[in-house]
Structure 1
């Protein structure tokens, strides 16, 4: 895709796991062919930025040769899914999580009729464990419920406990019903869609009564997780090629050689005896940067009306204890569609402030320059801690 800072390319590592050798390769490519900036998305994908058109066109061949994608673009898109990042490493995560994920991946890759699904329609396999069950959000989620059984969750409804093989069959059937019924709203956007799909598929279901897990909850699990696993956060989800290379070096020389990518802007390294130190990465679970989101801003996006990342970083020390902040370059709010305690939205007249809302919410104050924003946040800090909405 072409952006304001050049072309960007996206990599979806299989089941969210990146071998150290693959990470070294991506770091080299990002630095030599792009602008050295790498983003980790909320779907645990890597985005390398600043490519020229020719290098961007050549990148798929590099990725496929490194085992980072399929040559068939349709199959590649269909195999995209979120999987519990610590499956196979965390003994408290359902033992058959990876087997369930592989079964679902094979089923989706072979289902050519599902090519009609919207581009952002997503699947997830949630085995629970250290990253609690319910953190992974998608249109169709296969969720472990104990005793080797799984439940399919779609929108605001969930199916009865079944084996993971039957859960995969139900998930694919719901997706096919979604395509056949010409739905134009995804279950993740409208919970009522899920119950309708279960009914059309003639699969018994119940309605969920619990509120969705906060999307930032997983991102706060930083540092030592147990079982030799350590999570490092990527501030604002954006890192340099050097940061990725340094993580790969730690994995290759001190750990088990694997980088586990999470949808919460963090990389988990395993097989270690102490917390690794990687310049630029956050290992302190109390850091305010874990409560801040920002898009790439005007330097990289044609939709953005102002600077975002630098502003967000500079506001971190001024953020009230427990509060969350989203700095968005426009009303779309791509970096964080949900609510935050404070949301700043760049516009033609400066930065608008939305309290306890998203980037599309009601603007209660307008600041015509960044200094005015800093002054306001100094006041917020003096007012004391807030009840965090996330």
Structure 2
């Protein structure tokens, strides 16, 4: 390891409604909108709380969550009850932490998304609430219900995935359960939900510490534990969602998407998004790429502080909070990422990380920049934990490097 890039401290857990995380800029609060959607009224409330109790900075995460920053300890302690009263959290802390569940963002508004998707998601969510033993799952262990459609199957990634087969109208046995590198034959929605819960129970009983999303071979072992023979997952069901470009602008029908640059927005911007939702069906649907989907609109919205056009280069750039939000970061990587975005070749993506942990983008990127004491370490087609091929001292050096890359496919 280069002396310029020391190993980061890995905390190994995610903040939750009842488990705020202390960051360099204050306490970090996280909300999981039920089934990845919130009303305009709930969004207005979050914006008010972000300004009144925090520093007004908000993040949309790749898990469909909302994070508010800069809270005092007193404000952080009062936060859960305000969210519970607003319908944005469970009163039971253990039930709340089990609900790491993502759902296709276009469910109910995309005719190509499987018709049973919301039914399946509701059933799985209820099952997670009713299984106290699953509180032993790691904080980052997640589930998803992927109905396919405009956003193809594989756009969502989780440790245990329920994926539609033959959407938009699945057959009687129209769902497969994917866990790591293995999956089931098609099942009914009811059976698929029970299979997913059984796999999670098996994970807990085995005392695993590595998640299936990170160590795919674990999936085969878990299927064996519950008496099922998992078949090899390939093709669409293993599609890497991170390779699918974030979509902004018109999607399908009356659905439009807006993406927060680097996942960040202000309280004022969230209010603007809530006002746009009120022009449609009143809902803000969270996406796995730091975006919001609106339905019932007549035209593409223009929202200050959000990306609303599909050709914006910032859709292909990732960066963590950097300084001053994280004590481990070696620079203001978010600022640099946005400065460098216009110089990124078409079809290439850029990850600018404050340390080797690579929180913003764990997967490989065309170009990964890792901040260190001597400048940015450059990794090509790799991750922040890989050894850099060179170190570029200044942002201007990085810009020249990007401009010298071949155009088109890199």
Say which of 74, 82, 91 aligns to 1:54.
Answer: 74
Within 5 Å, which residues of 2 pair with 1:1-390?
A: 1-146=21-166, 147-148=171-172, 149-210=174-235, 212-252=238-278, 254-380=279-405, 384-388=406-410
Q: Distance in 2 between matches of 1:47 and 1:326?
A: 21
**Contact 2:249/2:309 (CA < 8 Å) preserved in 1?**
yes
Q: CA deviation at 1:233?
A: 1.1
SS of residue in 2 equivalent to 1:95: coil
TM-score calculated relative to the size of structure 2: 0.91
Deviations 1:200-242 (A, max 9, x none): 1111321113373233344432211122000111111111111
Equivalences, count: 384
TM-score calculated relative to the size of structure 1: 0.96
Q: Distance in 2 between matches of 1:308 and 1:213?
A: 29
Q: Distance in 2 between matches of 1:87 and 1:203?
A: 29
Q: Distance in 2 between matches of 1:219 and 1:377?
A: 19
Match of 2:13 in 1: none
SS of residue in 2 equivalent to 1:124: strand
Q: Distance in 2 between matches of 1:309 and 1:5?
A: 15
**Contact 2:154/2:241 (CA < 8 Å) preserved in 1?**
no
Deviations 1:337-360 (A, max 9, x none): 001111000112221111110001
Q: CA deviation at 1:378?
A: 3.4
Unaligned 5+ runs, structure 2:
1-20
**Contact 1:255/1:269 (CA < 8 Å) preserved in 2?**
yes
Q: Distance in 2 between matches of 1:225 and 1:386?
A: 24
Deviations 1:77-127 (A, max 9, x none): 112201111111111111111110111111111111111111111111111
**Contact 1:79/1:106 (CA < 8 Å) preserved in 2?**
no
